[in-house]
Structure formats: structure tokens, C-alpha cells
């Protein structure tokens, strides 16, 4: 499985502009139970630094751009999100970091479940131990 899974969200548009529709189990590969977005980030401040035990997510940069580092414990890859019709699918058990936010960046995240602090792994060493025990 490639760490970078970009989803084509599809655009409906004409001379008036563009529309992107997000639908559970259609162009988003799970039931959407939570939506949140981050904005007003300082370009030199990184965010994320966690993994989820069970949660799946799709990140969409609806405005501006940012960079992601995805890490499965063996491989790290970087991807730039800068198109509102592309979604970055992030599976469970993937460490993520976001940085290099443009001034106009609005990053929306669609999640497969409601917020639960117990689903987070916030320590990288613990993340690596968890990954090695699963092998």
C-alpha cells in the first residue's frame, strides 16, 4: 500500500465556478462522522505529530496549500496539498505531520469517527513500538 493515496473528489462546474461535493462511501471511502478544519496557521509552525489507532481521515486543502509528512514506521513520504478537488486519504496507524502552511491555507479533515482522545498516539517512540509489535 502506498502511503500517498490522493482521492479525486470530482468537480462540477461551468462558467459560474466550481463545486465539490463530499459524500460518505462515494468519493469519501467511509461514513463521515466528524468534520473539522484548521486555518490561520503560522507558516513556520508545524502541526499534527500523532497517529490514530483506528480512525481514518481524508484531508482536503480547500484554500491555499500545506505539506504533509506521512510515516508508517518504515517509510516516510511527503505530499503537498494545494488543490480543493484532491483529498489525501490517511489510514489508521499512520503518523502525520503538517507544515509549510500558506497564509490562506484552510485544511479541512473528514473523519470516520467522533473525537476520542484514547484513539491518539501522540508520542513517536510509542508509535514505533506499536508498529513493531504489530509485525
pLDDT digits (tens, 9 = 90+) for 3-42: 899 999 999 988 999 999 999 999 999 999 999 999 999 8
Active site (annotated) includes residue 50: yes
pLDDT in tens, the chain (135 residues): 688 999 999 999 889 999 999 999 999 999 999 999 999 998 789 999 999 999 999 999 999 999 999 999 999 999 999 999 999 999 999 999 999 999 999 999 999 999 999 999 999 999 999 888 776
Instruction: Output the DSSP codes for 14-52.
Output: ETTEEE----BTTTBSS---EEEEEES--TT--EEEEEE
Q: Which of 47, 50, 67, 83 is catalytic?
A: 50
Q: Which domains does the chain have, with CATH numbers?
A: 5-133 (2.60.120.10)
Q: What single-letter DSSP state applies at residue 73?
A: S
Amino acid at each position: 500500500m502506498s502511503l500517498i493515496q490522493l482521492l479525486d473528489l470530482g468537480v462540477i462546474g461551468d462558467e459560474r465556478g466550481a463545486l465539490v461535493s463530499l459524500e460518505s462511501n462515494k468519493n469519501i471511502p467511509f461514513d463521515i462522522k466528524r468534520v473539522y478544519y484548521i486555518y490561520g496557521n503560522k507558516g513556520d509552525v508545524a502541526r499534527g505529530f500523532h497517529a490514530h489507532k483506528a480512525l481514518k481521515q481524508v484531508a482536503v486543502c480547500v484554500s491555499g496549500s500545506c505539506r504533509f509528512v506521512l510515516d508508517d514506521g518504515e517509510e516516510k513520504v511527503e505530499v503537498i496539498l494545494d488543490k480543493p478537488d484532491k483529498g489525501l486519504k490517511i489510514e489508521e496507524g499512520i503518523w502525520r505531520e503538517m507544515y509549510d502552511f500558506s497564509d490562506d491555507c484552510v485544511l479541512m479533515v473528514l473523519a470516520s469517527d467522533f473525537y476520542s482522545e484514547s484513539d491518539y498516539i501522540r508520542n513517536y517512540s510509542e508509535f514505533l513500538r506499536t508498529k513493531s509489535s504489530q509485525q
